[in-house]
């Protein structure tokens, strides 16, 4: 836990009310977790608003920044913007319990809280599962991979067909011919 001490918030000396904290999450932060990430070069800022009350703490945590990820179609690296936020309530009790994602219980004699795990999970959950380079979305990609995808596409695009939806509409026309055995089922009524 010593390696995560930079992400401790000492709340005993704080006055009642709101206090702001800011953490920078770079590659060195993610290296602390010994889990391989599928992104590189994170530049993320986390803003934490801690509201201290007499019986509990309320934390509002927000992350925002950029990571470098490979495009799922071309394999090219690009910067992906990410953002996420969460709220956490910290109550005081007899023993530590963080089994609930939204409510933690910490011992009454505790004077600090470590939010490194929350920041890590919030970042990992904000990474999109489907990553497509902006140039591919705009149609400006000159990647060899896109040429290969076009070459081996199951749809043959030509000047007469404007887009894939026209092809799909043409495929739906083939469904008009129904096997006579299935046509009898249409006569059944509930």
Measured over all CA atoms, what is the biggest interatomic distance in the chain, rounded to whole angstroms?
81
The better pLDDT of the pair 2, 64 is held by: 64
Say what the pLDDT of residue 167 is.
47
pLDDT in tens, 74-84: 888 999 999 99
pLDDT digits 0-9 by tens, 89-137:
999 998 988 888 899 999 999 999 999 999 999 999 999 999 988 877 7
Fill in the DSSP letter of residue 97. Answer: B
The rounded percent of the chain whose pLDDT value lies above 90 is 50
Q: Which residues contact 84 (CB under 8 A, 6 or more apart)?
A: 62, 63, 122, 123, 125, 126
Which positions ≥6 away from 70 have C-beta within 8 Å? 76, 77, 131
Average pLDDT over residues 164-175: 52
Chain centroid offset of residue 181 CA: 49
Q: What is the pLDDT of residues 33-47, one digit of tens each?
A: 988 888 999 999 999
CB atoms within 10 A of CB 23: 18
**Alpha-carbon gap, residue 162 to 169, rounded angstroms:** 12
Q: Looking at the predicted structure, is the pLDDT value of residue 180 above 90?
A: no
The DSSP secondary-structure symbol of 186 reads G
pTM above 0.85, yes or no: no
């Amino acid at each position: 836990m010593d390696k995560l001490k930079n992400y401790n918030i000492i709340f005993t000396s704080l006055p009642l009310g709101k206090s702001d904290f800011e953490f920078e999450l770079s590659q060195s932060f993610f290296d602390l977790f010994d889990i391989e990430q599928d992104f590189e070069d994170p530049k993320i800022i986390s803003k934490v608003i801690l509201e201290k009350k007499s019986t509990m703490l309320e934390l509002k945590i927000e992350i925002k920044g950029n990571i470098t990820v490979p495009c799922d179609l071309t394999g090219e690296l690009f910067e992906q913007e990410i953002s996420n936020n969460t709220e956490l309530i910290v109550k005081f009790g007899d023993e530590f319990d963080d089994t609930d994602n939204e409510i933690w219980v910490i011992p009454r004699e505790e004077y600090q809280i470590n939010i490194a795990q929350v920041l890590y999970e919030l970042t990992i959950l904000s990474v999109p599962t489907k990553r497509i380079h902006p140039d591919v979305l705009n149609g400006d990609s000159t990647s060899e991979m896109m040429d290969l995808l076009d070459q081996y596409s199951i749809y043959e695009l030509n000047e007469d067909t404007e887009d894939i939806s026209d092809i799909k509409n043409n495929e739906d026309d083939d469904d008009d011919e129904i096997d006579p055995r299935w046509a009898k089922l249409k006569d059944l009524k509930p």
